[in-house]
Chain A
Amino acid sequence: MKHLFLRSLREVKSTLGQFISIILIIAIGSAIFSGLFSTVTLIESWLNDYYTSTNFADAWVYVKPADVDQIKIYQNDNPEITIEGRASFQLESVLKGESVTYRFYTKTDINGLMLMQGTTNVKDNEILIDASFAETNLLELNDEISILVDDEVYTYIIKGIFHSSEFAYKSKDFSESISNKKGFGIIYATPEVLSELNHHSDLYKDALSEATIKFDEAQVKLDDAHQVLIDQQADLDLQKAQIISAYSANLLMMQQILATLVPYQKLLDDAKADYELALSDFQIEKANALSDIENLTTDVFELLIKGKTPQIEAFVISLETQDQYVNHRLRKDHPAFTMLDNVLSPIKVMTTIFPILFFLVASIIILISMSKTIENERTQIAIFKALGFKKSTIRLSYLFYGWWAAIIGSIPFALLGNYMIPRILMAIFTTRYSMPPVPFKIYWSYNLIALGLSLFFSSIAILLALRSILKEIPAQGMRPKAPKSTQRSSLERWPWFWTKLSYTQKLITRNILMGKVKILLSSIGIVGSIALLITGLSLRNSASQMINGSINTYKFQYAIKTSENMEISDLQLPIDTEIIERTKIFAGESEDLSLIVQVIETDEQLLAIKDHSGKVIEMKDDTVIITKAMAIVFDLKVNDRVDFFIDDVPYSLIITNISNQYLNKSISISFTQADSLGLEISTDKFYISTPSQEIKQAEVDTLLEEPSILAVDTKIKYQDTANEVMKMLNSIIMVIVLSALLLSITVIYNLASINIFDRQRELATLRVLGYTVREVENLVYAENYLLTFLGAIGGLPAGIYLSQTIARLVSSKEFIMSGEISPLIIALSLFAGFFFTFMTNRILRRKIVMIKLVESLKAVE
């Protein structure tokens, strides 16, 4: 055993290059295996912990206004679930010159907060703010935030910074496809703050104004009635005075006539009493109604529920019968929860594809290189057998070699993968999400499995390589092996083609055709490499399609929001402008999916929406453009009818164009069309382009100084958000392309090294015959290029399949990755594949130059 052990070590030394390349590919497989599985487990378990520790809600139920007592009734009627109500208030504001949206909540036990800094105990002028908003806007504890609502300024001090599992994916509403860390702040404050702010809510203001109108009308009617009573009393009093004056001489007569007026006076007195009563009732009702309206500032519309789905559904049904229900959302549909799937899906796809690919290639390389080594040591194996060694002992001596490679390649690199890959992926992951830092862990089980797989694959490869040689009897093994018979290639059946080939080409063709199995096996690596390249480039293309189609076409420099709805002619802009266009966005819904209806100017120029061929779509009065993302999600084509709802009102339009936008599900129509549909078209949002076509901070500041302008967004802001997505994808793409590079170089280098070693004698003969080093190199290189070409043929369909699968899995409800593969992508992938081969050829050059003519030719056949 000791000798076998030593022999395997010496074997390693004598085939160091081959040994290192086997280690390398095992290392990649192990690192990727351990890294990806660790990431999936880490994210899954950490998110579960996060949801549990923050008491993440099982459902959100939206109701008509409910007060504390009402919620107690709900709770008493449904003891199996826990119900909490919370008040909220949302407003648009400006922070450091940029428009932001704040959403205020009252604290609840369900959907609790993970405090990062400060305290959760706040007074009425203090708030808690979410960490990602604080970080991106450079806000710190004890900083002040001022909010302007209806000309009133409220100032709050930040007393705590938190993360919330509910807002791990921050998108404020339908109109935002990408998480918005900087422009959307979540604030928790006392109920008093919420009540105070809710005095500015549309609901409160609308209810109050509606009631005031009704009160005023009633008051007018009461006043009119009162006036009638006064007039009638005056009439009666006049008649009385006239009677008294007319009959002053005849007192009896006068009394008799006055007596006839008594019933009228009684009727009038009764009417007066009724009026007093009605007035008093009105005062009471008015006070009650005002109190009810006041209650709207403390009522809740949102219930957070913990419990099992059937009980939640039962609760929802009971609310429906009481006409209290508005809608609800279960945990599984919540963006913060679905993010788990969104994030894990692509990683899980990689988990299934990448390690298998690398281990498979590793075992193929081990199989081919060990077959060569074993064949070279055929005589030695025969001697072992002649000396009486058992087959199992011989097997073991070679298995040691593979095990060395497996151990050296797997253990450190699996650990490295476990350490690095979750960090890299989490870094990518957290650019979209707002989450506390994740504590990293070493998963020994995955590292051990990676080692087990490495040992398994290397053992299988070695045992396969040994199989035929161990079948030989010792005497047979000690004789030289009969040369492999050469066959004509099938291409020779076409002499018109075959005779045109040079001798080098003929030689290459026969070499390739003679080693069909070897070529097929080695092509797997190239197939994988080309497939990965296509996938990487296609993802990159889909992502840039998404950004370019949606954002980069914008021709405006600023998007402004005015303090009230305005016409373009009313705008007071303190900067030079070129084009000003109105826009208005409505929240829509179709088939339970939210969408945007954007109203834009007829003949608009500042959005420059393009179609698939890159041509700008002309916006006419009756143009209806839907985005490519929407066309894919709803399976719509031009001339199809698109049905949607805005505020529960149904609309139906015929699609005239499909834009090249992959980011939002949106419908664009003209103001004329919107008006004819009955939509309210007055707006406070405008796009502006300037003569310089440049974005200048000075201009932004000047615009903000204008009192009628509430907020100014620049085109850069839109691009920044999109670039965040690109950054995430770029990292994934880099990993993919790097893997392709490693695969390709390892495979070609290994196989070509083996090829050169096997054919040393032949190559030396060529050199002796007077072939230059370059001519010999070209022979080897051409074979590698041909191998790359064959691999590319298989790699193309594999790449198309892989990129479409990954694109489908990476796509979310918010954005669509087309997974489209253009001829340019194919050309670039092939170019990269051949470039990798070219690089490998450069590395191999040394091996060819180093061939020693005399020694190579001396070897006995």
Chain B
Amino acid sequence: MNSIIEFKGVKKHYKIGEVTIEALKGVDFTIKKGEFVVILGASGAGKSTILNLLGGMDTATYGDIMVQGENITKYKDKKLTQYRREKIGFVFQFYNLISNLTALENVEFASAVSKNAFSPKDILAKVGLTDRANNFPTQLSGGEQQRVAIARAVAKNPLLLLCDEPTGALDDVSGQSILNLLDELNRDLHKTIVLITHNAQIAQMANKVIHVRNGLVDEILINETRKQVSEIDWK
């Protein structure tokens, strides 16, 4: 299987006042189509920066990020918007739903900008929220809100699903149910998922685990056998 994503010597520097912070100091890795990748690392290790660069929310200072053979570091703002629109589905730690739209409307709203979108209702059914479709975000629990956020991300039928600590704000039960959902989407719909977390246990459900430390890739592990969420010891 060929790589659809390739990070080649990616560096990211932030200039704050007179201080330059090196968030990424030269990162290299590849991701293949359909892989479930977990990027693992402590706070400040650089994992969110990797996700932001991959998602086209930020631009690299040095290096190349190849997505399906195209170097997205060369993209200008307009092209980056199109890239996010067509290829990326985001799931955030704090859901970031549009508060004035119902669950279904949130999904529809996002899929409206994509050419190959799935049916919003089907996707909402897939995440188990058919009954809650007409509720506003404030009327949903955290877990339900994150399901809507996942549905919103998936409905666009993106190339990549990028999840930034998707269980970070949830209790264990809700968190595990979200992970189950992501696992399912990866297996059933063959979506390439990149999930960042500091929770090492989640790594057990990935095909590939990229350890990040101090802005560098520490090690990349391949799980020959992925565990189901229910098989993981969460204690």
Binding site for B on A (CB under 8 A): 483-486, 503, 506-507, 510-511, 514, 761-762, 764-773, 775, 853-854, 857, 860-861
The contact of B109 among A484, A503, A761, A861, by CB within 8 Å, is: A503
Contact assessment for A506 and B57 in the assembled complex, using a CB-CB cutoff below 8 Å: no
Binding stretch for chain A, among B35-43, B97-105, B204-212: B97-105
Counting residue pairs across A and B whose Cβ atoms lie within 8 Å, the total is 83
Contact assessment for B81 and A486 in the assembled complex, using a CB-CB cutoff below 8 Å: no
Q: A483-B99, A486-B100, A860-B94 are in contact. Are A771 and B136 (CB under 8 A)?
A: no
Chain B residue at minimum C-beta to C-beta distance from A853: B57
Contact assessment for B94 and A770 in the assembled complex, using a CB-CB cutoff below 8 Å: no
Q: A771-B113, A854-B58 are in contact. Are A486 and B136 (CB under 8 A)?
A: yes
Contact assessment for B81 and A761 in the assembled complex, using a CB-CB cutoff below 8 Å: no
The contact of A773 among B55, B77, B109, by CB within 8 Å, is: B77
B85 within 8 A of A: yes
Could you mark each residue 84-96 of chain B with 1 if its beta carbon is under 8 Å from any beta carbon of chain A, else 0? 1110101010101
The contact of A854 among B52, B82, B110, B137, by CB within 8 Å, is: B52
Q: A506-B105, A853-B57, A854-B52 are in contact. Are A770 and B114 (CB under 8 A)?
A: yes
**Chain A interface, >50% SS class:** helix
Least CB distance from A717 to B in Å reads 63
CA separation between A775 and B85, bound complex, in Å? 12
Least CB distance from A498 to B in Å reads 11
Contact assessment for B84 and A769 in the assembled complex, using a CB-CB cutoff below 8 Å: yes
Residues from chain A with a CB closer than 8 A to the CB of B105 are: 503, 506
CA separation between A510 and B85, bound complex, in Å? 25
Q: A503-B105, A857-B96 are in contact. Are A486 and B110 (CB under 8 A)?
A: no
Contact assessment for A861 and B94 in the assembled complex, using a CB-CB cutoff below 8 Å: yes
Interface centre among B55, B82, B96, B113 (most CB of A within 10 A): B96
Chain A residue at minimum C-beta to C-beta distance from B95: A861
Could you mark each residue 16-57 of chain B with 1 if its beta carbon is under 8 Å from any beta carbon of chain A, else 0? 000000000000000000000000000000000000100101
The contact of A485 among B88, B101, B110, B136, by CB within 8 Å, is: B136
Interface centre among A770, A771, A853, A857 (most CB of B within 10 A): A770
Residues from chain B with a CB closer than 8 A to the CB of A770 are: 81-82, 84-86, 88, 110, 113-114, 156
26 contacts between A and B (CB under 8 A): A485-B138, A486-B100, A486-B136, A503-B105, A503-B112, A506-B101, A506-B105, A507-B98, A507-B100, A762-B96, A765-B96, A765-B98, A768-B55, A768-B90, A769-B84, A769-B85, A769-B90, A770-B86, A771-B81, A771-B85, A772-B81, A853-B52, A853-B57, A854-B57, A860-B94, A861-B94
CA separation between A79 and B58, bound complex, in Å? 97
B139 within 8 A of A: yes
Residues from chain A with a CB closer than 8 A to the CB of B100 are: 486, 506-507, 510-511, 514
Least CB distance from A793 to B in Å reads 23
Least CB distance from A759 to B in Å reads 9
Residues from chain B with a CB closer than 8 A to the CB of A860 are: 94
CA separation between A769 and B114, bound complex, in Å? 10
B78 within 8 A of A: yes
Closest 6 CB pairs of A and B: A770-B85, A510-B100, A486-B136, A503-B109, A765-B96, A770-B84
Least CB distance from B97 to A in Å reads 8
Chain B residue at minimum C-beta to C-beta distance from A772: B81
Instruction: Supply 12 further A-B pairs (C-beta < 8 A) apart from A486-B99, A510-B101.
Output: A503-B112, A507-B100, A765-B96, A767-B81, A769-B113, A769-B152, A770-B88, A770-B114, A770-B156, A771-B81, A772-B81, A853-B52
Least CB distance from A846 to B in Å reads 14
Contact assessment for A762 and B99 in the assembled complex, using a CB-CB cutoff below 8 Å: yes
CA separation between A772 and B110, bound complex, in Å? 12
B108 within 8 A of A: yes
CA separation between A771 and B113, bound complex, in Å? 7
Instruction: Give the total of B residues in contact with A, Cβ under 8 Å.
Output: 34
Interface centre among A484, A486, A506, A762 (most CB of B within 10 A): A486
Residues from chain A with a CB closer than 8 A to the CB of B96 are: 761-762, 764-765, 768, 857
Least CB distance from A515 to B in Å reads 10
Residues from chain B with a CB closer than 8 A to the CB of A762 are: 96, 98-99
Contact assessment for B92 and A857 in the assembled complex, using a CB-CB cutoff below 8 Å: yes
CA separation between A503 and B113, bound complex, in Å? 11
Residues from chain B with a CB closer than 8 A to the CB of A767 are: 81, 84
Chain A residue at minimum C-beta to C-beta distance from B52: A854
CA separation between A510 and B55, bound complex, in Å? 30
Residues from chain A with a CB closer than 8 A to the CB of B113 are: 769-771, 775
Chain B residue at minimum C-beta to C-beta distance from A510: B100
Chain A residue at minimum C-beta to C-beta distance from B86: A770
CA separation between A775 and B58, bound complex, in Å? 20
CA separation between A506 and B100, bound complex, in Å? 8
Residues from chain B with a CB closer than 8 A to the CB of A761 are: 96
CA separation between A854 and B78, bound complex, in Å? 17
CA separation between A766 and B98, bound complex, in Å? 9
The contact of B101 among A484, A503, A768, A771, by CB within 8 Å, is: A503
Residues from chain A with a CB closer than 8 A to the CB of B84 are: 767-770
Could you mark each residue 55-90 of chain B with 1 if its beta carbon is under 8 Å from any beta carbon of chain A, else 0? 101100000000000000000011001101110101
Residues from chain B with a CB closer than 8 A to the CB of A764 are: 96
Residues from chain A with a CB closer than 8 A to the CB of B82 are: 770
Contact assessment for A507 and B101 in the assembled complex, using a CB-CB cutoff below 8 Å: yes
Chain A residue at minimum C-beta to C-beta distance from B82: A770
Residues from chain A with a CB closer than 8 A to the CB of B98 are: 507, 762, 765-766
Least CB distance from B75 to A in Å reads 13
CA separation between A328 and B171, bound complex, in Å? 97
Residues from chain B with a CB closer than 8 A to the CB of A766 are: 98
Residues from chain A with a CB closer than 8 A to the CB of B88 are: 770
CA separation between A860 and B108, bound complex, in Å? 25
CA separation between A772 and B105, bound complex, in Å? 19
Contact assessment for B137 and A486 in the assembled complex, using a CB-CB cutoff below 8 Å: yes
Q: A503-B108, A761-B96 are in contact. Are A486 and B138 (CB under 8 A)?
A: yes
Interface residues of B in 197-230 (CB under 8 A from A): none
Contact assessment for A773 and B99 in the assembled complex, using a CB-CB cutoff below 8 Å: no
Contact assessment for B110 and A769 in the assembled complex, using a CB-CB cutoff below 8 Å: yes
Residues from chain A with a CB closer than 8 A to the CB of B110 are: 769-770
CA separation between A767 and B110, bound complex, in Å? 11
Least CB distance from A113 to B in Å reads 74
Residues from chain A with a CB closer than 8 A to the CB of B90 are: 768-769
CA separation between A488 and B152, bound complex, in Å? 21
Chain A residue at minimum C-beta to C-beta distance from B110: A769
Chain A residue at minimum C-beta to C-beta distance from B106: A503
Chain B residue at minimum C-beta to C-beta distance from A487: B136
CA separation between A98 and B152, bound complex, in Å? 84
CA separation between A761 and B94, bound complex, in Å? 11
Least CB distance from A175 to B in Å reads 68
CA separation between A243 and B105, bound complex, in Å? 151
Least CB distance from A421 to B in Å reads 45
Interface residues of B in 130-147 (CB under 8 A from A): 136-139
Q: A483-B99, A486-B99, A507-B101 are in contact. Are A768 and B57 (CB under 8 A)?
A: yes
Contact assessment for B138 and A483 in the assembled complex, using a CB-CB cutoff below 8 Å: yes
Least CB distance from B101 to A in Å reads 6
Contact assessment for A485 and B58 in the assembled complex, using a CB-CB cutoff below 8 Å: no
Contact assessment for A484 and B138 in the assembled complex, using a CB-CB cutoff below 8 Å: yes
Contact assessment for B139 and A485 in the assembled complex, using a CB-CB cutoff below 8 Å: yes
CA separation between A484 and B112, bound complex, in Å? 26
CA separation between A503 and B108, bound complex, in Å? 8
Residues from chain B with a CB closer than 8 A to the CB of A486 are: 99-100, 136-139
CA separation between A764 and B138, bound complex, in Å? 19
Residues from chain B with a CB closer than 8 A to the CB of A772 are: 78, 81
Least CB distance from A476 to B in Å reads 19
Chain B residue at minimum C-beta to C-beta distance from A861: B94
CA separation between A506 and B90, bound complex, in Å? 23
CA separation between A90 and B176, bound complex, in Å? 106
CA separation between A761 and B152, bound complex, in Å? 16
Residues from chain A with a CB closer than 8 A to the CB of B139 are: 485-486
CA separation between A766 and B152, bound complex, in Å? 12
Chain B residue at minimum C-beta to C-beta distance from A764: B96
Least CB distance from A130 to B in Å reads 71
CA separation between A563 and B227, bound complex, in Å? 119
